[in-house]
Amino acid sequence: MTARRGTVAGHAYEFPTLVELMAKATPLRSGDVLAGCAAESAAERVAAQTVLADLPLATFLDEQVVGYDEDDVTRLVLDTHDAAAFAPVASLTVGEFRDRLLAWAAAGDEAAISALAPGLTPEMAAATSKLMRNADLVAVGRRTRVVTGLRSTLGLPGRLASRLQPNHPTDDPLGVTASIVDGLLQGCGDAVIGINPATDSPARTVALLELVDEVITRYGIPTQSCVLAHVTTTLRALEQGAPVDLVFQSVAGTQPGNRGFGVTLDLLAEARAGALALGRGTVGSNVTYFETGQGSALSADAHRGIGGRPVDQQTLETRAYAVARHFEPLLVNTVVGFIGPEYLYDGKQVLRAGLEDHFCGKLLGLPMGVDVCYTNHAEVDEDDMDALMLLLGTAGCTFLIAVPGMDDVMLHYQSLAFSDVLTTRSVLGLRPAPEFEAWLARMDLLDDAGRVRELTADAPAARALLAAAST
């Protein structure tokens, strides 16, 4: 390892390792302060960013942030690296790579950006994001194309999908069904109808899967269901013959972080194989769904890198995307403000983190969505979330998450409402997934301009759906 130095206003700053250089170059966030790895001043941050900009991009293939020998995520990243995909940018520095991405984005060259994914490591993506303004993250994210599918096609240009999240504090079937219908009538649910169960009981998981599958089947809805139980619970549900569309799991960017979640790479591979064997897709075969969030590794004391040094939370978050990428997901989302102000203190930090996560995830080839959310004890409000929501829509976010009335009554945090998805689509001229849009039209839920319309007596198909919520 080589100590690197940068000078600002006549003062020299030294960065003994790549771990420290990455951390000091990161825009300010409370989690890095908590971990003791944040820059001590704006000048030190600028010095680190200047040094990082001149770092050859290929450095990340030879010098690790988390050691190869002790971490299976690092081994996964380096052992599966695609040198041919990396070749077009292999000679660039991090700063030059940033400039190249912005030039491609300005030219609308989506193919050039998207083709890089197998050749990029998470640290390359994270380093580049640290040199970008918010507008840069939006511009490149918008031109990075990732398309996936199971029973609906996600990630097409001009589309914004949504996860309909019908959580209920007791998993009450009537309450869950009412929330599903509420979301469907507002044009939501084309990414997934995904429930956070109140317990991790295999029996409850199977019951919820069967409930959602019945709604999807009865009304011919081109979407997929998911009960966000632990992957081991989903494996038991598969053994019982449950209608599993998507295997879900929260993942982290280090081996100890994933151990804290109770998962291994082999376990994820086993569950994916089980879901694939069911053959439930109609337009594709992406059967996994992963959730992440900045600060998860730190909260599990699983954030150490080379020499035991703390790794910044944004770099660790991006490493989680390498885990997700390996299993060809239909969906990945960062729950950007869910952990709390210890990791992202205020609206500015949450907004920045959401744009970073979206940019890095898509650059690495992921169908990236965001739960635009916050906890009530954070210095965040709905205006902050509106700004992030609209910026993500502009950036080509694959999907947003929405709950009834924007208040998650089971997890006790604030997310987006179903109407917020409609607002984003309307303001930015975006549409649902094509198969779901056609279903909305068949259900008499679209007006002549293709917008979700008010439920009226001349929409018998939709009113039949409404009646289902009370039976």
Binding site feature residues? 163-165, 196-197, 249, 291, 299, 371, 410
Number of DSSP helices (H) and strands (E) in the chain, helices first: 22, 15
Residue with tokens 């998981």: 205
AA letter at 463: R
Does the CA dihedral 121-124-125-127 come out positive or negative? positive
Give binding residues for adenosylcob(III)alamin as ranges: 197, 249, 299, 410
Residue 148: half-sphere exposure toward Cβ, Cα within 13 Å: 29
Residue 82: half-sphere exposure toward Cβ, Cα within 13 Å: 14
Q: Is the backbone of residue 365 left (phi > 0), alpha (psi -120 to 50) or beta?
A: left
Show the tokens assigned to 36. Answer: 């003791």
**Contact by Cβ (8 Å): 368, 362:** yes
* DSSP letter for each residue of 102-139: HHHHHHT-HHHHHTTGGG--HHHHHHHHTT--HHHHHH
**Contact by Cβ (8 Å): 398, 424:** no
* C-alpha pair distances (Å), 155 with each of 143, 220, 435: 11, 22, 13
Show the tokens assigned to 162. Answer: 């949504």
Exposure string of 153-175, with b = 16+ CB inside 10 Å and e = fewer, is: bbbeeebbbbbbbbbbeebeeeb
* C-alpha pair distances (Å), 298 with each of 257, 295, 310, 332, 361: 8, 5, 9, 20, 20
Cβ neighbours, 10 Å, residue 277: 10
Give binding residues for substrate as ranges: 163-165, 196, 291, 371
As a dihedral over the C-alpha atoms of residue 167, residue 172, residue 176, residue 182, rounded to 10 degrees, the angle is: -110
CA distance 264 to 257: 10
Exposure string of 218-227, with b = 16+ CB inside 10 Å and e = fewer, is: ebebbbbbbb
Of 449, 462, 395, 435, nearest in space to 154 by CA: 435
